[in-house]
Amino acid sequence: MTKLLPGMLCLCILLAGFRSGDPPTKAQLGEQLFFETLLSKNNSISCASCHQPQHGFADTAALSLGIHRTPTKRNTPGITNLSGRPSYFWDGRAATLEAQALQPIINPDEMGLPIEEAVQRLNASQRYRQLFQQVFNSPATATNITQALAAYEKTLETANSPYDRFIAGDDNALTEPAKRGRILFIGKANCNNCHSGEDFTADRFKNIGLYNGTTLNDAGRYDITKDEHHKGFFKVPGLRNVAVTAPYMHNGMFRTLREVIVYYNNPNAIVPDGIGRDLSLGKPLNLSEQEIQDLEAFLVALTDDRFTHRP
């Protein structure tokens, strides 16, 4: 059976809604906007160009390319399971999904389109005039554009992974290596010190040692707060679907989960001059080769079926 990609699926739903007389929902309109190249200055990219559905709505490049093939400043994170987070982006500069949805559109290095021009373009389209009228009972505005995009992003919640089935009582849902990896995650490897809760993020900012002021000079949270103590701090990402969102870290410097684990096993061996690294990362974990493999198996088991069984 042929599966539909998210944009195709939403279009089918919208068309079905027109035929049945049912109006489209805010999230369905948001999905259309998410895949809409009209929202980039030169009509070349959409939100989905960097947040690729088949890769957990992340990108496969260390730094995504915006309009004119301009590299973005940081790695594109996955955007599943973002509902209810207190802050967004690696530096936490947005407090709501609506504020987050606006930034890539207007960022000159990403989609590069002033929001006023985005409003004009959508209202010049007969199709979008009809959709916004049906959903919001008004033309497109800066506010309802971001509301629709945020509504779609709120539908990207995932909780159907082998790990979820294991927690629900299916002892066979996890492989034996993944079971051992789970014990390591909450024990010897101390991963849950930062990656805790249902979505494996404590919604905090941490300095894991990837800032040295020279070769690694992205100051992260400091750029927003201007607090010297925040240099090298970045938002702790959730780990659901992490196996399909490579490469990793704010700069995409690690290509595989294994590389990430090897770094945490002994950060000083990879970045010996990291400034302000969290004290919890001060000593090597001394994970064996088997333990590294087991921990990776557990992280892979956090992948929702929608990505494991993608077309």
Annotated binding site: 47, 50-51, 191, 194-195
The strand ranges marked E within the chain are 205-206, 234-235
Which amino acids are annotated as binding site for heme c, given as ranges? 47, 50-51, 191, 194-195
CA distance 291 to 79: 29
For 114-173, give the DSSP string.
-HHHHHHHHHH-HHHHHHHHHHHSS---HHHHHHHHHHHHTT-----SHHHHHHTT-TTS
Q: What are phi and psi of 221, to 5 degrees?
A: -55, -30
Q: Is 52 helix (H, G, I), strand (E, B) or coil?
A: strand
CA distance 267 to 283: 8
Is residue 76 within 8 A of residue 60, CB to CB? The reply is no
Dihedral of alpha carbons 273, 279, 284, 285, sign: negative
Q: Is 185 helix (H, G, I), strand (E, B) or coil?
A: helix
Q: Is 233 helix (H, G, I), strand (E, B) or coil?
A: strand
Work out the burial of residue 21: count CB atoms within 10 Å of its CB; fewer than 13 is exposed, 13-18 middle, 19 or more buried: exposed
As a three-state string, the secondary structure of 148-162 is HHHHHHCCCCCCCCH
CA distance 107 to 111: 6
Cβ partners under 8 Å of residue 110, min gap 6: 50, 64, 66, 67, 72, 103, 104
